[in-house]
Structure 1
């Protein structure tokens, strides 16, 4: 007679976690219904002779299951033990749905399931097909922070076939969605859009009709035909800092953008050249052709963005900042963590710029940065059009209408 009887709660939970949670395919299949409920787990209670032969083990088996928190999931059966008569013993654990399973598996899984179920309900409210898609993509969906998930819910109803009109993905006209979001979360966006619309084997960018992100070092974009002709009629070209310094471009306005990707949000502006993705590579600003232009600088709202602005002003003191003001900061709440601060201000910031920097530095570290990519395309274009139309006051470095 075997003594392999009497599974205890910790053993059952350990086996279930390994089979149903650690195995992601199995967990996903439980959510989609491919692995059906109820899930019935035998606890292997002892027979009468087995219990009589090892009373301490028998007592521990019964005691631990009586302490089990989810008593409603247990089924009990009667076993007669010589000298003790009929005894009620736990025989099976029965789980009727994914919520029951999650609770059994532990607090971490229960929290995962509760949040996932809430997200699945939000997606189903957008389109019923998204409920099943939420199950198939549960881990990718849960990898999003809650603010990013909320942004996803804002994005999905706005996407339509062909809306990009062969422009860059960063230039999509989206309300309440940062220009970086589609690119950063392309995989999950494509999976969910594919559940609603027939992509017919096309990827998300093809369906939207947007141009893929180009690669290079420092990007130059002409924002009107006259400037584009000087760049060989190419939409974007890439150069290094030395090459940029040796160029001569005839334009009235120059917009410097700290990071490359926000440059693809920018639409046409008369007589304007964009130089993007140069970061701290700013020595080209000493070139003679640069000084003839009205220059705007758009950087991240963080200590590094303001540090680069000050460095740029060492070469061109009259540079105007664009979207680095209190209005931009207060209108957009998607602040993020700044890993490390830059050097203290060097005395080349305006009073308003210094005030914004001090406001950021007074915040908790996880909210000290507002990335350029978090700003909606419509806001960016409106502010750039305002900058382009302003008369520049060189005494304050502030543009006036």
Structure 2
């Protein structure tokens, strides 16, 4: 026989309202009528005769809490507590709450003590909806982007709306973020919020004339800059250490018989600037300064993809995440000094990583996955490249590069 549910107090109703709010507020933003019609109901699971007889103080306190709650919400037509007369040992015939019901998003938010948050969300949604004639589309995009604009300060919310209004009235195709002339809004502000701006603008364009026929803002992307070092003087290029836009570096060493001089036959991507600058002469080799997830730049360099690609990153979760991402572009990339032997040899120099990534890699070898698991299970360790003695590292780097 199943155990009887313990009596549920007003706090159970509060918790149910909080749960409903967190699960449904995006839907309420997108379709307001769903919020107006939403209902939270709970059974109070009133105590039976045996429970009341065994727990008279608890039962009395439970009844008082519901009476106080009912009195507090008496003026609210959207909250209803249903009572029924029952006979309980030690209490006689007494009114007991049977169930409670809360109707509508505003009251649900109020009982969940989320009125301030819900008021702010509704007010900001209304301002977003005013940007265009298709309110349904704008409410939908507001719901989908709420996690981005809810946390903006009031000043930043004003900036977001100002940028959207300007873009709706002016063509931005081919411009850079810096060329959008809005007082108080700089390039970085736009670039860090570009995704939500574009989503809102696209929804606001529905049903109204637009100065452009492109999706989003159509801004001209910044030139991705890459730094490389030529580690072999015989490779055909007049400079040994250069940083330049990726589109320009991509034109180096074309794959044609008439290309003058030697072309790179191996590429080493490293994440640490000190390591990058310290790399010694290596035959046929070009080093690329990876700069974290800028390893995507390798995909923009045809000559790099034609060469053997090696990656030397930190021995930590981020290093393996970058390696995993690099393999999206260069599946045959070989990792160097990112193994258990290196970790075991210099583990005393490893420190806890304060912000490890939990990304799930899909392009690591079984040995790399084992090393990553060891780092994670040992307390999210991080062994940075520069902590490994240089002589020891070079003695293993050369064989790894087949030199």
- When normalised by structure 2's length, the TM-score is 0.45
